[in-house]
Structure 1
Amino acid sequence: MAGQLSVDRASLLALANKARLITNPPGQIPPGALAGERTSKQQGRGLNFDSLRRYQPGDDVRLIDWLATARLRSPWIRLYNEERERPVFLLVDQRLDMFFATRVQTKSVAAANTAALLAWRSWHDGDRIGSLVFNDSDMTLQKCRPPRTTLNTILDTLVHYNQQLPEKYPTEPVAKVSLADALLRASSAIPNGAWVAVLSDFHDLDKQCDALLAGLRRRCEVSAFVVLDDLHRHLPTMGTVAATYQGHEAAFSLSSGIREEIEQSITARLARQQSRLTRLGIRVNHLVVTQDLIKQLQKGL
Structure 2
Amino acid sequence: MALAPQARAIINPPGQIPPGALAGERVSRQQGRGLNFDSLRRYQPGDDVRLIDWQATARMRTPWIRLYNEEKERPVFLLVDQRLNMFFSTCGQTKSVAAASIAGLLAWRSLHDGDRLGGAVFGDRDYALRKCRSPTSTLPVFFDDLVRYNHRVADDYPHEKPGALSLAAILRHSLPLVPAGCWVALISDFHDLDNECDALLAALRRRGEVSAFVTLDDLHLRLPSHGRLAARYAGQETTFSLSPSLQNGVKQSVTARLAAQASRLTRLGVQVNQIVVGGDLLRQLQQGV
1:70-219 to 2 correspondence within 5 Å? 70-72=58-60, 75-219=63-207
Instruction: Name which of 246, 253, 267 aligns with 1:279.
Output: 267
CA displacement at 1:281 relative to structure 2 = 1.1
CA displacement at 1:52 relative to structure 2 = 2.4
User: Which amino acid in 1 is paired with 2:252?
Assistant: Q
Closer, same or farther: CA 119–61 of 1 in aligned 2, 3 Å: closer
Where structure 1 has 5 or more consecutive residues not aligned to the other structure, the ranges are 1-12
Match of 1:9 in 2: none
Distance 2:283 2:44 in 1: 51
User: Which amino acid in 2 is paired with 1:176?
Assistant: A
Q: What is the count of residue pairs matched by the alignment?
A: 285
CA displacement at 1:237 relative to structure 2 = 2.7
- The answer to whether the 8 A contact 1:28-1:86 is kept is no
Distance 2:288 2:34 in 1: 27
Instruction: Name which of 243, 256, 260 aligns with 2:248.
Output: 260
CA displacement at 1:211 relative to structure 2 = 1.4
Match of 1:4 in 2: none
CA displacement at 1:187 relative to structure 2 = 0.8
Give the TM-score, by structure 2 length.
Answer: 0.92
CA displacement at 1:247 relative to structure 2 = 2.8
Q: Does 1:242 align with 2:248?
A: no
Closer, same or farther: CA 29–130 of 1 in aligned 2, 3 Å: farther
Distance 1:51 1:176 in 2: 54
Q: Does 1:298 align with 2:249?
A: no
CA displacement at 1:32 relative to structure 2 = 8.0
Distance 1:52 1:210 in 2: 44
Distance 1:28 1:61 in 2: 25
Distance 1:61 1:96 in 2: 53
The farther-off stretch of 211-220 and 67-76 is: 67-76
Match of 1:10 in 2: none
Distance 1:156 1:165 in 2: 14
CA displacement at 1:282 relative to structure 2 = 0.8
Distance 1:135 1:39 in 2: 32
CA displacement at 1:45 relative to structure 2 = 4.1
Distance 1:57 1:20 in 2: 43
Where structure 2 has 5 or more consecutive residues not aligned to the other structure, the ranges are none
Distance 1:86 1:31 in 2: 16
CA displacement at 1:101 relative to structure 2 = 1.0
CA deviations on 1:17-48 (whole Å, 9 max, x unpaired) are 1001011321136898528x8763x5x64342
Once superposed, which parts of structure 1, at least 4 consecutive aligned residues long, lie more than 6 Å away? none
Distance 2:279 2:129 in 1: 29
Percent identity reads: 62
> For the aligned residues, what is the CA RMSD?
2.1
CA displacement at 1:79 relative to structure 2 = 1.6
Closer, same or farther: CA 59–271 of 1 in aligned 2, 3 Å: closer
CA displacement at 1:64 relative to structure 2 = 3.3
- The answer to whether the 8 A contact 1:98-1:106 is kept is yes
The farther-off stretch of 209-218 and 89-98 is: 209-218
Match of 2:216 in 1: 228
Match of 1:7 in 2: none
CA displacement at 1:71 relative to structure 2 = 3.1
